């Protein structure tokens, strides 16, 4: 569509619990605005938003899609986000660049778990909000019940600005409570009068002059109503409630009119925080088309046809094609050829995008999600994006030898596309660990890597980085003697081993006197001892928190060498470990779990079954409780999915390593058996 000025742009993000109707609302907006010639369906995989094969397979959004619809001379940029909890990273990027949030609620389901979570995301960003009650044509649709539930959950400032005519199969229209000339059917006249009075009261509460006028019995004009609703939206003191059936395209025209008529343009939003490279001082950057260029990259995708696609929002200046620009975040020059408007998988070339608009460019070599694109002569950095931390980790392996070389680059590219995925290498287990927000999140990432990058990967539960140590002192002797004709090998040592406090690591000392072991051979003894500690005697895990002291020994003037004493030191250390009552240590994690109060008892019972030790419980004052607990890592490997199941998706947690602790004696044999099985599995892999 032709270049649209800033004041006629609207950037809205659609948020909801999974399956509430965001995507079909976006589809109806495109159809009614003339962008598409038919209404797609989620079930058929024909919507503009859900264009990835993974979305067709699952019948739900897994990516944030960018759309745009012209309406009444305006351009509405629609950011359609996934509702499933595993894709909160996608939601975070969409919320970051929106100017208003539309929280979609299904009329037959009401307020769901995801409704509250999405509301909180919009609240954190202080975005103006609209509630859209969708699926009014469905069986058991209950507009009044949903409104009541919304008000009980989020406040009385959530107020309908329209009323539905009929419900379920008889739902036929939407009537405005703002327009005094609206044609209101007789069957809802009383309800409409009562609802309008509540709306007038809510608007009057926003402004002191209107409040005085209302209390004195004077009529509030339509112009004052419109101004009051806009003011309440911006201040967060009024949240309008609309409704409709996108599938039947009832109430969607009214929604489009409301978006263009009441929601703010980018120029009306608070200034963006910006700074110069190398400076820690933040300043306000107004959304001004004549200002310096500053565009934030909020999403990166690997497109099979055009390559790397960088989605951005322009916060200042005009973003023009065929230009030399600069990645201010990384200090790299970038050549921009074509600028695109985005509509799902389609890219339409434009000459430029105005301040406040959203678009994409291809093949920027240095630019990653969160970077700021500016001009070289006026470099500006905008605040980046923050993504939820990964709470679900799995080990990732190449499926075949052909996939080994593709593994590193494919993992790097999937993280570039989805920064809520974290890829690390565990130094203790030497495994590559892939972290995300849940099992579905990682499964879809694996599917994308296969489809987009031709790399087949498999996931498995990660190994627990156990350690071993000793629990008592032992003194051992080892004599290494080997005669091969000519020079032989000889090294003789006495070593004393003793336990150290947790976290001490390893110490080596010697008390050699009289040269019984020449000084030049003592480092070789230490090297041999350290080498032996890499594989303990209980289950083959590294040994920690131990001191080894070389106390005696002997040497041969001809046959002794550094290698001989290294061998002797290694064997002596192993012998010492066996005699010093070796024990197995497991990592203990510090976990904080936040759940609704009603689930606290069940969560504590479950944690006790996981050998967790409750450290404290803190009521948060919002109907939730935070439980602090220390628990073995081995018991928490799949806790993200299990907590979600136990709390109907309402629980969350953070987890970090705290310390090592001895494995209970009755569990050691099980750990040893599991370790042997894992070793066999590892040997069977490439």
Task: Give the Cα separation of 228 and 206 in Å (integer).
Answer: 7
SS3 327: strand
Check whether residue 572 and residue 441 sit in a common domain: no
- Compute CA distances 310 → 264, 315, 341, 342, whole Å: 25, 16, 12, 11
What pLDDT score was predicted for residue 1?
A: 58
Asked whether residue 358 is domain-assigned, the answer is: yes
DSSP 120: H
Nearest residue to 79 (alpha-carbon basis) of 260, 462, 274, 344: 344
User: Are β-strands 546-554 and 506-510 bridged in parallel, bridged antiparallel, or unpaired?
Assistant: parallel
Q: How confident is the model at residue 193 (pLDDT cuts 50, 70, 90)?
A: very high
What is the SS3 assignment for 548? strand
Are 493 and 439 contained in the same domain? no
In a domain? residue 678: no
C-alpha distance from residue 116 to each of 104, 125, 232, 592 (Å): 11, 15, 21, 20
Instruction: Mark whether 526 and 650 lie in a shared domain.
Output: no
Lowest model confidence (mean pLDDT) among 274-278, 490-494, 682-686: 682-686
pLDDT tens digit sequence for 28-41: 999 999 999 998 88
Considering the domain architecture, whether residues 443 and 479 belong to the same structural domain is answered as: no
175-184 pLDDT per residue, tens: 999 988 888 9
User: In this structure, what DSSP letter does residue 612 have?
Assistant: -
Q: Is 122 a member of any domain?
A: yes
Q: Over the stretch 590-637, which tens digit does the pLDDT of each residue have?
A: 999 999 988 999 999 999 999 999 999 998 887 889 999 999 999 998
Q: Residue 199: inside a domain, yes or no?
A: no
Q: What integer best gives the mean pLDDT of the chain?
A: 92
Residue 141 has pLDDT above 80, yes or no: yes
pLDDT (0 to 100) of residue 681:
80
What's the rounded Cα separation, in Å, for the pair 317 and 352?
10
Q: Report, as an integer, the average pLDDT of 242-270.
A: 96
Rounded to whole angstroms, the maximal C-alpha distance in the chain is: 117
Same domain, residue pair 357 and 424: no
pLDDT at 303: 75
- Based on the domain organization, do 28 and 122 belong to the same domain? yes
**Where residue 682 falls among pLDDT bands split at 50, 70, 90?**
confident
Domain count, the chain: 5
Q: Mean pLDDT throughout 298-315?
A: 88
Relative to beta strand 239-243, strand 158-160 is parallel
Q: Spell out the alpha helix ranges (H) of 251-325.
A: 252-262
Q: What is the pLDDT of residue 270?
A: 95
Under 8 Å between Cβ of 3 and 314: no
Query: What are residue 509's phi and psi, to 5 degrees?
Result: -145, 170
In the prediction, which pLDDT does 466 show?
Answer: 95
Beta bridge pairs of residue 13? 79, 101
Mean pLDDT confidence for 209-215: 85
Residue 278: exposure state from Cβ atoms within 10 A (0-12, 13-18, ≥19): exposed
Of 382, 402, 430, which residue sits at a domain end?
A: 382
Residues 498-511, mean pLDDT to the nearest whole number: 94
Q: Which tokens sit at 148? A: 């009541």
* Whether residue 344 sits in one domain with residue 321: yes
Residue where a domain terminates, one of 534, 551, 580: 580
122 and 175 part of one domain: yes
Check pLDDT > 80 for residue 367: yes
- Provide CB contacts within 8 A for 171, sequence distance 6+: 136, 137, 141, 164, 165, 245, 248, 250
- Of 389, 390, 404, nearest to 458 by C-alpha is 404
pLDDT of residue 486: 67
CA gap 568, 524 in Å, rounded: 9
* CA gap 537, 677 in Å, rounded: 17
Q: Residues 435, 424: contact at Cβ < 8 Å?
A: yes
Q: Is residue 374 part of a domain?
A: yes
Q: Are 395 and 461 in contact (CB under 8 A)?
A: yes
Contact between 285 and 294 (Cβ < 8 Å): yes
- Report the percent of the chain where pLDDT is more than 90: 74
The reported pLDDT for the residue numbered 62 is 80
Secondary structure letter of residue 560 according to DSSP: B
Domain presence at residue 198: no
Whether the pLDDT of residue 686 is over 60: the answer is no
In terms of domains, do 422 and 544 share one? no
In a domain? residue 498: yes
Q: Let me know whether 359 and 505 are in one domain.
A: no
Q: For residues 83 and 19, is the Cβ–Cβ distance under 8 A?
A: yes
At 380-420, the pLDDT tens digits run 999 999 998 888 999 999 998 888 889 999 999 999 999 99
> In sequence order, which residues have a C-beta less than 8 Å from that of residue 135 and are 6 or more positions away?
20, 21, 106, 107, 108, 141, 245, 246, 247
Whole-angstrom Cα distance, residue 575 to residue 475? Answer: 9
Task: Tell me the pLDDT band of 485, cut-offs 50, 70 and 90.
Answer: low
User: 51-69 pLDDT, tens per residue?
Assistant: 777 777 777 778 899 999 9
Identify the pLDDT of residue 181. Answer: 84
> In terms of domains, do 371 and 503 share one?
no
Average pLDDT over residues 187-213: 90
Residue that is last in its domain, among 580, 595, 618:
580
Whats the size of the chain, residue-wise?
686
Task: Examine the pLDDT at 43 and tell me if it is beyond 80.
Answer: no
Q: Where are the beta strands (DSSP E) in 344-455?
A: 346-350, 352-353, 358-362, 372-374, 381-382, 392-398, 422-425, 432-436
550: domain CATH number? 3.30.230.10
pLDDT of residue 685: 67
In this structure, the answer to whether residues 527 and 436 fall within a common structural domain is no
CATH number where 315 lies: 2.40.30.10
Confidence check: pLDDT of 354 > 70: yes
Q: Which is more confident, 624 or 473?
A: 473
Q: What does DSSP say about strands 392-398 and 422-425: parallel, antiparallel, or unpaired?
A: unpaired
For the cut 70, the answer to whether the pLDDT of residue 10 exceeds it is yes
Q: CATH number for the domain including 431?
A: 3.30.70.870
Q: Which domain, by its residues, includes 556?
A: 468-580
């Amino acid at each position: 569509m032709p270049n649209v000025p800033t004041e006629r742009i609207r950037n809205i993000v659609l948020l909801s619990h999974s399956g509430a109707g965001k995507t079909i609302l976006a589809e109806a907006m495109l159809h009614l605005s003339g962008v598409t010639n038919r209404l797609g369906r989620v079930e058929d995989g024909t919507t503009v938003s859900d264009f990835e094969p993974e979305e067709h397979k699952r019948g739900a959004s897994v990516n944030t899609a960018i759309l745009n619809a012209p309406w009444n001379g305006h351009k509405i940029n629609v950011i359609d986000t996934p509702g499933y909890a595993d894709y909160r990273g996608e939601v975070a990027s969409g919320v970051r660049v929106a100017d208003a949030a539309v929280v979609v609620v299904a009329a037959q389901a009401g307020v769901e778990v995801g409704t509250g979570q999405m509301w909180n995301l919009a609240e954190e960003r202080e975005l103006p909000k609209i509630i859209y009650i969708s699926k009014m044509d469905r069986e058991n649709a209950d507009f009044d019940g949903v409104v009541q539930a919304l008000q009980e959950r989020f406040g009385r400032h959530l107020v309908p600005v329209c009323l539905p005519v009929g419900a379920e199969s008889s739902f036929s229209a939407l009537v405005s409570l703002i327009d005094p000339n609206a044609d209101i059917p007789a069957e809802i006249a009383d309800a409409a009068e009562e609802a309008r009075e509540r709306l007038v009261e809510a608007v009057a509460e926003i402004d002191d002059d209107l409040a005085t006028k209302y209390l004195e019995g004077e009529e509030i004009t339509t112009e004052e109503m419109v101004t009051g609703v806009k003011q309440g939206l911006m201040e967060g003191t009024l949240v309008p409630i609309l409704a409709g059936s996108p599938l039947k395209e009832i109430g969607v025209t009214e929604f489009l009119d409301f978006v263009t008529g009441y929601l703010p343009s980018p120029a009306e939003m608070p200034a963006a925080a910006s700074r110069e490279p190398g400076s820690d001082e933040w300043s306000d950057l107004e959304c001004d088309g004549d200002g310096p260029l500053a565009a934030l990259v909020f999403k990166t995708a690997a497109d099979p046809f055009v390559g790397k696609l960088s989605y951005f929002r322009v916060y200042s200046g005009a973003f023009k094609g065929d230009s030399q620009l600069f990645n201010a975040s990384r200090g790299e020059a970038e050549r921009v050829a074509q600028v695109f408007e985005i509509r799902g998988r389609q890219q339409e070339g434009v000459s430029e995008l105005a301040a406040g608009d959203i678009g994409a460019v291809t093949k920027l070599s240095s630019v990653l999600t969160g970077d700021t694109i500016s001009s070289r002569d006026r470099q500006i950095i905008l605040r980046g994006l923050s993504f939820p931390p990964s709470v679900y980790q799995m080990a990732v392996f190449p499926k075949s030898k052909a996939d080994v070389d593709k593994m590193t680059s494919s993992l790097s590219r999937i993280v570039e596309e989805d920064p809520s995925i974290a890829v690390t290498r565990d130094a203790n287990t030497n495994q590559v660990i892939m972290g995300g927000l849940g099992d579905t999140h990682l499964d879809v990432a694996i599917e994308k890597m296969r489809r987009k990058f031709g790399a087949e990967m498999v996931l498995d539960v990660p190994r627990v980085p156990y350690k071993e140590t000793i629990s008592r002192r032992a003194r051992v002797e080892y004599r290494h003697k080997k005669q091969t004709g000519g020079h032989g090998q000889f090294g003789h040592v006495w070593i004393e081993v003793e336990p150290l406090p947790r976290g001490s690591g390893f110490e080596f000392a010697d008390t050699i006197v009289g040269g019984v072991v020449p000084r030049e051979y003592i480092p070789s003894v230490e090297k041999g001892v350290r080498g032996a500690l890499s594989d303990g005697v209980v289950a083959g895990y590294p040994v920690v928190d131990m001191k080894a002291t070389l106390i005696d020994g002997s040497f041969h003037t001809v046959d002794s060498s550094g290698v001989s004493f290294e061998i002797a030191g290694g064997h002596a250390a192993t012998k010492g470990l066996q005699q010093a009552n070796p024990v197995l240590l497991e990592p203990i994690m510090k976990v904080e779990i936040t759940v609704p109060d009603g689930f606290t008892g069940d969560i504590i019972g479950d944690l006790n079954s996981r050998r967790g030790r409750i450290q404290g419980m803190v009521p948060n004052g919002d109907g939730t409780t935070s439980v602090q607990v220390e628990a073995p890592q081995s018991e928490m490997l799949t806790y993200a999915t299990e907590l979600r199941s136990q709390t109907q998706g309402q629980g969350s947690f953070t987890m970090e390593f705290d310390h090592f602790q001895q494995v209970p004696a009755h569990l050691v044999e099980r750990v040893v058996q599991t370790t042997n099985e894992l070793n066999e599995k590892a040997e069977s892999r490439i």
